[in-house]
Amino acid sequence: MASPLYFTTLVLSYVLIAVVVAIVPALGTGSTRLTTTSSLEMEAEALLHTGWWRWDANHSLKHCEWQGISCNEAGRVTRIDRTWFTLNGSIPPQIGAFSSLKYLILSLNSLTGSIPLGWGNLNSLKLLDLSHNQLTGPIPSTLGNLTNLKLLDLSGNQITGPIPSTLGNLTNLKLLDLSGNQITSPIPSTLGSLTNLNLLDLSDNQITGHVPSTLGNLTNLNLLNLSRNQITGPTPSTLGKLTNLKDLDLSFNQITRAIPREIGNLKNLSDLNLSKNKLNGLVPSSLANLSRLSYLFLDSNHLEGPLPSQIGNCSVLEGLYLSNNHIHGSIPFEVLTCPYILDISHNFIEGEIPQQLITIFTSTFWILATTI
């Protein structure tokens, strides 16, 4: 038979275990609370260190109540919006400390310096808008880590260097705008992986090389603007697969060869601008398939031959610009009856405007037909 001391020891052991079991979760919760509180304090401190919220800090101790700041239920910063706040100087590195940040908008300021490399750790980011500042330096390749991004707008800065191929990792992107910078080198073919893109604007840069054929994979595109660069080579026929495209602008480049007939597949196109290039060959009759086209700019190229009468099949065309080419022959009657603005000046056009159209031109249309 066990002694009373044994039973006493056994009871005390169970009591001790029960106490430990009760205390450990409480200690864990306290540790979690301490960690969470510490993290929130660090986020508030990081915001203060930027110097952008001094006024707010003097009027509220809760950083989630400061102007341009949004937080989740746990109190973590999810949105920073300092649009048009006359911010200047370089971007504070503290901005990279917000692990729950989803929206970062610093557009329309006077920020200088480069985009911090550490921003590649902002894995929750869905929107990054740094447009219309004075940022310099290259686009960090680490931005390719932000695979939740849906909008990336770096337009209107002074960014240099190439487009990182790692941006092809951002497969959730719907908008990519790098226009109005000083970006050089060819367009990386990896951008063809961004199949959710609705808008791709790389205009007003110093981009060289050919248009990659992989851009034909971007079948959700509504707008493709590569204008005002130094792009050479032919227009890839794969662009004819972009059947959701409404605006295609390749103007002010050095693009050569003929206009691909596949462009006629873009039946949702409302604006097509291929002007100020080195295109040659005939104007393809397949352009007559663009039944929703409002404006067609083919001026200042080396296009030749007679105009196809099929272009006159258009129903909503408001402007047809063909000046400064090598087009010859007479103007098809169907073409004359189609656009509201027809510019065929500085070509080798022959013949006369049909008499029955004179009244229409004087009352409804503008026509420029200088032949040189």
Note the pLDDT tens digit of each residue in 216-272.
Answer: 999 999 999 999 999 999 999 999 999 999 999 999 999 999 999 999 999 999 999
CA distance 314 to 292: 8
> Which residue intervals of the chain bear CATH 3.80.10.10?
32-207, 209-217+226-372
State residue 75 phi and psi, 5-degree precision.
90, 10
Give the per-residue pLDDT at 31. Answer: 36
Give the per-residue pLDDT at 161. Answer: 98
Position of tokens 């007939």? 261
Arithmetic mean of pLDDT, 44-55: 89
- What is the overall mean pLDDT for the chain? 87
- pLDDT, one tens digit per residue, over 308-356 is 988 877 678 889 999 999 999 988 877 877 667 889 999 998 877 666 5
- 3-class SS at 114? coil
What is the third-level CATH fold of 209-217+226-372? Answer: 3.80.10
Strands 69-71 and 77-81: antiparallel
CA distance 151 to 194: 12
Asked if residue 92 has pLDDT above 80, the reply is yes
Give the per-residue pLDDT at 90. Answer: 96
* pTM of structure: 0.87
Give the per-residue pLDDT at 335. Answer: 80
Asked if residues 200 and 246 have their Cβ atoms less than 8 Å apart, the reply is no
Strands 341-343 and 232-234: unpaired
Q: Which residues pair with 272 in a beta bridge?
A: 248, 296
Asked if residue 6 has pLDDT above 60, the reply is no
- Between the CA of residue 202 and those of 187, 250, 254, 285, what are the distances in Å? 9, 10, 15, 29
Arithmetic mean of pLDDT, 159-169: 99
From the candidate CATH numbers 3.30.420.130, 3.80.10.10, 3.90.1580.10, 2.70.98.90, the one assigned to the domain spanning 32-207: 3.80.10.10
In which band, very low, low, confident or very high, does the pLDDT at 38 lie, cut at 50, 70 and 90?
low
